[in-house]
Amino acid sequence: MIELRDIRKSYRIGPRKLEVLKGIDLHIGKGEFVAIMGQSGSGKSTLLNVLGILDEYDSGLYELDGVPIRKLSAKQAARYRNAFIGFVFQSFNLLPFKNAMENVALPLYYQGIGRKERNQTAMQYLDKVGLADWSTHLPSELSGGQNQRVAIARALASKPKVILADEPTGALDSTTSKEIMGLFESLNDEGISVLIVTHEDDIAHRCKRLIRLKDGLIEADPALETQAGKHLR
């Protein structure tokens, strides 16, 4: 489903080049539940942005569902983001002037779905995250955990194949974090691939696969080890 080969990315800071991803090889299959950990600055967010087609990379191969992403036009990229990927961010990234329902309905607007159907679908997903009663509230009127649920509902609304979540519980207390993780687990049970960047061990350990990043390289990946083990045998 997601295939990365020797992905490299660097940022230009003045005259110097800062290499952030130094050759990432990664395969994530359908329905996987993956945690990405690593020290601050190790490139986790950068990797997730590349995966989400939210940022460009310098070299390497990235195939999403068998389609090489590098060659996509801006318009095609927009369609892939809409149809394949749901995003959940640490800072929620809800539009402050839209209420919960309208925020959830926004990806559907970009699918060209009419208002009525859009709002119905949005209500379904709000219900799914337990916020049906809060649909007319603005983000400023909701708690952090509630906002993150709205964001998850929004990520689900376009029926994506993969959810990319960058520290989704980073701004939440531990009880709320557990509830949010529960949500991700149930999504994964429905067959959606979930990738979570996190600093918290208990979050990471609820995932089925743990990838460790260090200085722009994958330091540990159980999938690689088993593959390597298979080779050895």
Instruction: Write out the residues near ligand ATP by the rule CB under 6 A.
Output: 11, 13, 18, 20, 38, 40-46
Separate counts of helices (H) and strands (E) for the chain: 8, 10
**Given 41, 68, 97, 214, the residue binding other proteins (CB under 8 A):** 97
Nearest-5° Cα angle at 88, 162 to 2: 25
Bridge partner list, 210: 35
Q: Which residue blocks in 158-233 are alpha helix, DSSP H?
A: 174-189, 201-204, 222-232
Q: Is the dihedral angle over the CA atoms 196, 201, 218, 3 positive or is it negative?
A: negative
Q: Which entry of ligand ATP, other proteins, Mg ion, none binds 38, CB below 5 to 8 A by partner kind? A: ligand ATP
Residue number with CB closer to Mg ion (45 or 135): 45
Per the CB < 8 A criterion, the answer to whether 200 and 26 are in contact is no
How many residues in the chain? 233
**Given 18, 95, 220, 228, the residue binding other proteins (CB under 8 A):** 95
Cβ 189 to other proteins shortest distance, Å: 25
Determine the Cα–Cα distance for residues 62 and 85; give it in Å rounded to an integer: 15
Cβ 153 to other proteins shortest distance, Å: 13
Q: Which entry of other proteins, Mg ion, ligand ATP, none binds 114, CB below 5 to 8 A by partner kind? A: other proteins
Cβ 162 to Mg ion shortest distance, Å: 18
Amino acid at the residue 154? R
Q: Does 115 bind other proteins (CB under 8 A)?
A: yes
Cβ 206 to other proteins shortest distance, Å: 25
Q: Does 45 bind Mg ion (CB under 5 A)?
A: yes
Tell me whether residue 16 is exposed, middle or buried, using C-beta atoms within 10 angstroms of its C-beta: 0 to 12, 13 to 18, 19 or more.
exposed
Q: Does 198 bind Mg ion (CB under 5 A)?
A: no
Cβ 103 to other proteins shortest distance, Å: 9
The overall longest dimension of the chain from CA atoms, in Å, is 59
Determine the Cα–Cα distance for residues 215 and 22; give it in Å rounded to an integer: 8
Q: Does 49 bind Mg ion (CB under 5 A)?
A: no
| Positions in the binding site for other proteins (CB under 8 A) | 49, 52, 54-56, 74-75, 78-79, 81-83, 87, 89, 93-95, 97-98, 106-107, 109-112, 114-115, 154, 158
| Positions in the binding site for Mg ion (CB under 5 A) | 45
